[in-house]
Structure 1
Amino acid sequence: MAILVIHERDNVAVTISDIKKGEKVAYGSSELTALENIDKGHKIALRDIEAGENVIKYGFAIGKTNTPVKAGQWLHTHNVKTNLGEVLDYQYSPDPVYHEVSGQCGKTFRGYRRDDGTVGIRNEVWIIPTVSCVNRAAQLIAKTAQADLAALPNVDGIYEFTHPYGCSQLGDDHRTTRQILIDLVNHPNAGAVLVLGLGCENNNIPEFKAALGDYDPERVKFLVAQEVGDEIATGLELMEELLQHANRYSRTECPVSELVVGLKCGGSDGFSGITANPLVGSFSDVLIGCGGSTVLTEVPEMFGAETILMNRARDEQVFDKTVKLINDFKQYFKFHNQPVYENPSPGNKKGGITTLEDKSLGCTQKGGRSTVVDVLDYGERVSIKGLNLLNGPGNDAVACTVLAASGCHMVLFTTGRGTPLGTAVPTIKVATNSDLFQHKQNWMDFDAGQLLAGKTMADVTDEFFDYIIAVASGQETKAEKMGFREIAIFKTGVTL
């Protein structure tokens, strides 16, 4: 199979392998001759397309041609442009509710049941700086405290989450930095947390405590570096107490309905919307059918496919929140005098993605076909089981961080180009093609390219579900093994 026609309405196909000029390729009962060399993952015209005519992929328009195109010709940024406009009005046209029936619902994972009833999939001790000034102190405390882990069999690790903020920020930036850090303090993957401050920062410990609200003083401890003679020594004393607290927890069987899973893509290619993203969407539907939750973010990568999500809103209130999510993010672009549709990235284009509609129609498939039950603002946590939409950008580090902050136990990260990125929670890298999976064995966790080799979606979904249960039960991802654990916080305003 050299080309793949995704939908019966499509007037383009995706090349599964590199095609040479003059090569004849078959699809269904038809045959096509390539008029030029076309790289794998790119689009080939199935018929003549007039200038200004819509290019159809996934059954939807992904743009329109700016010149006439012949059957067998390559379609990409040189002859296709977006159809998209700016801020739009929308009308709620609800689609039927979709429910996946699966035999997976009886399965369990071995997680950590917390005192408040929540469940974590890791039992780690986290050090969270309130301000960048104490980043290095946090690193030194974490590094030195590692020596105590051998005697604590139930603690999965000690990690610090440094960042460049916490002072010289105003308004929303100040509040969002504080909120993301509070979300991490409350995350169930952390058995215990040390909050480390400097003492003179905007995001100081007293203010942080007031915003945090009630907390367990055995699980969360605070240290102000300016108030002690040696913050490293004092920090290690507090860490000893926190480690003993975390070691109280042990893994126990938990139903899969407890899982909250983030959905993310980065370094997408022409196969993203054919293999990895539909696989993640299939998993999402199964998990939600079992009573679990998934979270879809990257709002700019919903542009052009937003009505698909809007029409799956469970009611008009959720529909209205989805409209606001989309249009507010467009206003953010316009406020900074930036084009709303300056996307995809150079790597996306090299991989075969032409327009933002092309990218978005592939990206949103990570949300499967389930009902959208809620829309979360940046820094909000999941409170309703099912498919949630989350306000956040497409930037890999920022999006993964806000998914973790929303309460996701792990992030499923699909990619056709590859990335080593990991965030505060386990980050599973799903390769869109088998070549990438084989080439970057130290980065990639799961091969969705199997779908191009004849495996059925049902079989690969079951395999993927079992792998996710293994990770939830303690199996390390490649990013975890390599020590890639980073956070990044969204910033929109003035730095003093």
Structure 2
Amino acid sequence: MKKYIKINKKDNVGVALCFISKGENVEIDGKKIEIKEDIKKGHKFSIETIESGKNIIKYGMPIGHSLKKIELGEWIHTHNLKTNLSDLDTYSYSNLNDFDLEKNKSRKVKVYSRKNNKIGIRNELWIVPTVGCVNGVGENIINEFKKRFDVSSLDGLNIFKHNYGCSQLGEDHINTRTILQNIVKHPNAGGVLVLGLGCENNQVKEFKETLGEYDSTRVRFLIAQDVEDEIEDGIKLLKELYDNILSEERVEKEFGELVIGLECGGSDGFSGITANPLVGEFSDYLVEHNGTTILTEVPEMFGAETLLMERCVTENVFNKTVDMVNNFKKYFISYDQCIYENPSPGNKEGGITTLEDKSLGCTQKSGISKVQDVLKYGEVVKERGLILLEAPGNDLVATTALGAAGSHIVLFTTGRGTPYGGFIPTVKISTNSELAKKKPKWIDFDAGKLLNEDVTMKNLADEFIDYIVDVVEGKKTNNELNNFKEIAIFKNGVTL
């Protein structure tokens, strides 16, 4: 295995693929370099002398500037590198030529076909509370239901607990209702019980009236305060839904019917080298087959947003992208928070130094496809192709937003590891093999294999596509096996 990688020919840094000791010599571009200090795996070192104030180049793009003169072979991190980014920027539209995507053989997948012509990849039974006050009630309904009926034929039986639905005003109240409504209508659910209390802001009556078109055979409503025994009434309604979906069977549909969310968390120095580029390959493959991928986590686009803007299919989409980015920056500013101090302690420990460093790696999940549309938080996907979604970088909030926008699955790349999962299958893709070996009950796919010289991107991408087809057709992800299924809703305003 090589000890380092130079990602782009323009780079003035190398990235250590393993621990490199002080005094070791490496050869890059025919030049021998003595390493001046210990370099941890995933961290950067200079491959040329960099004067104070000059740009540090990684992925062929600046990731910040040097705070002092950096000698050949020195470690580069937070002590000698600072971001170039400022608060608000202006952008100009420049439509690039189309990229050529590699043509691949089309394929079919076996999924559930819903009455509204959408597909689901699971046939699950859900309880969606309108307010956090009935979380316990919903849990008890499920526990008692499992005692009385065999649920082994279901792909899942879950309640998606949350803390909201009351004491919220304005946009927060609307966001809560909208996200929950989108979950209720999600095609991965064969049946949904909407469970209310009765006195909350998020009233079941208004919830139902604003729900839009839905399949009445798949949704039931219960207000706990209106009945004598909410547990028994809940079980009765769940049983009706259960009986309705038992006859559902998978049918063959085009691979391009899928909607896949793209996300990352706990990045390390390999995120932009292995897992994110692999997901980018998959995104391009799905888009090329008329499918849809959704990229979110707006703060993790800062510093790489122009790369996405250059790929916007029209000037209108470009303007929506600019608004999405600048509105999120204004959100930071409104709370007197620094926009560009995003990398977490875990990111920094793994070798990520600045937000540009993180973002240039993160946006590789989108591949090279054109951006077809931009969604506001809570909106459902309408176009096919690569879509951008307004949502924060918080793992749970972003995953929920992706699912609520219509994603059947979320592809989640990570260099640090996390056990959590959303209300839809959440595929954890490790950036390094050590994490995959250490946490086999968390990690679903090891992209760290790309660091082995005998593993090509093409071969691993083919393996990954096969794995995703298996998940689509029923293979459970680790978050499903562990029954780690959660939702989180974005909150900005006052709580009464």
Q: Please give the secondary structure, in 2, of the residue aligned with 1:274.
A: coil
1:146 counterpart residue number: 146
User: After superposition, where does 1:137-216 map in structure 2 within 5 Å?
Assistant: 137-147=137-147, 150=150, 153=153, 155-216=154-215
1:73 counterpart residue number: 74
Deviation at 1:100, TM superposition (A): 2.1
2:424 counterpart residue number: 425
2:321 counterpart residue number: 322
User: After superposition, where does 1:17-166 map in structure 2 within 5 Å?
Assistant: 17-105=18-106, 107-147=107-147, 150=150, 153=153, 155-166=154-165
Determine whether 1:272 maps to 2:271: yes
Q: Give the distance between the partners of 1:302 and 1:159, measured in 2 at CA.
A: 33
Deviation at 1:428, TM superposition (A): 0.3
The aligned amino acid for 1:117 is N
1:493 counterpart residue number: 493
TM-score of the two chains, using structure 2 as the length reference: 0.98
Deviation at 1:246, TM superposition (A): 1.6
Contact 1:149–1:157 (CA under 8 A) maintained in structure 2: no
Q: After superposing the two structures, state which structure 1 stretch, 29-38 or 96-105, moved more.
A: 96-105
2:336 counterpart residue number: 337
Q: Please give the secondary structure, in 2, of the residue aligned with 1:103.
A: coil
Deviation at 1:163, TM superposition (A): 0.1
Determine whether 1:399 maps to 2:383: no
Contact 1:42–1:351 (CA under 8 A) maintained in structure 2: yes
Deviation at 1:144, TM superposition (A): 2.0
Q: Give the distance between the partners of 2:437 and 2:115, measured in 1 at CA.
A: 42
Q: Give the distance between the partners of 2:151 and 2:59, measured in 1 at CA.
A: 54
Task: Give the unaligned 5+ runs of structure 2.
Answer: none
Determine whether 1:466 maps to 2:489: no
1:287 counterpart residue number: 286
2:362 counterpart residue number: 363
2:371 counterpart residue number: 372
Contact 2:115–2:215 (CA under 8 A) maintained in structure 1: no
Q: Give the distance between the partners of 2:252 and 2:261, measured in 1 at CA.
A: 22
Q: Give the distance between the partners of 2:82 and 2:151, measured in 1 at CA.
A: 61
Deviation at 1:213, TM superposition (A): 2.3
Q: Give the distance between the partners of 2:158 and 2:167, measured in 1 at CA.
A: 25
Deviation at 1:389, TM superposition (A): 0.2
Deviations 1:430-459 (A, max 9, x none): 000011111111100001011110211111
Deviation at 1:25, TM superposition (A): 1.5
Q: Give the distance between the partners of 1:247 and 1:147, measured in 2 at CA.
A: 18
Deviations 1:397-419 (A, max 9, x none): 00000000000000000000000
Q: Give the distance between the partners of 2:354 and 2:104, measured in 1 at CA.
A: 38
1:310 counterpart residue number: 309
Structure 1 residues 275 and 300: CA distance shift in structure 2, 3 A: same
Q: Give the distance between the partners of 2:47 and 2:418, measured in 1 at CA.
A: 33
Q: Give the distance between the partners of 1:151 and 1:157, measured in 2 at CA.
A: 8
Deviation at 1:117, TM superposition (A): 1.0
2:413 counterpart residue number: 414
Deviation at 1:112, TM superposition (A): 0.4
1:220 counterpart residue number: 219
Q: How many residue pairs end up in the alignment?
A: 494
Deviation at 1:104, TM superposition (A): 4.0
Deviations 1:303-331 (A, max 9, x none): 00000000100000000000000000000
Contact 1:404–1:410 (CA under 8 A) maintained in structure 2: yes
Q: Please give the secondary structure, in 1, of the residue aligned with 2:207.
A: helix
Contact 2:341–2:354 (CA under 8 A) maintained in structure 1: no
Deviations 1:135-158 (A, max 9, x none): 0011111222224663773x2121
Q: Please give the secondary structure, in 1, of the residue aligned with 2:222.
A: strand
Detail structure 1 runs of 4+ shifted over 6 Å in the superposition: none
User: After superposition, where does 1:437-456 map in structure 2 within 5 Å?
Assistant: 437-454=436-453, 455-456=455-456
Task: Give the unaligned 5+ runs of structure 1.
Answer: none
The aligned amino acid for 1:101 is E
The aligned amino acid for 1:472 is V
The aligned amino acid for 2:110 is R
Q: Give the distance between the partners of 1:104 and 1:484, measured in 2 at CA.
A: 35
Q: Percent identity?
A: 54
Q: Please give the secondary structure, in 2, of the residue aligned with 1:277.
A: helix
Contact 2:3–2:20 (CA under 8 A) maintained in structure 1: yes
The aligned amino acid for 1:398 is V
1:478 counterpart residue number: 478
The aligned amino acid for 1:300 is P
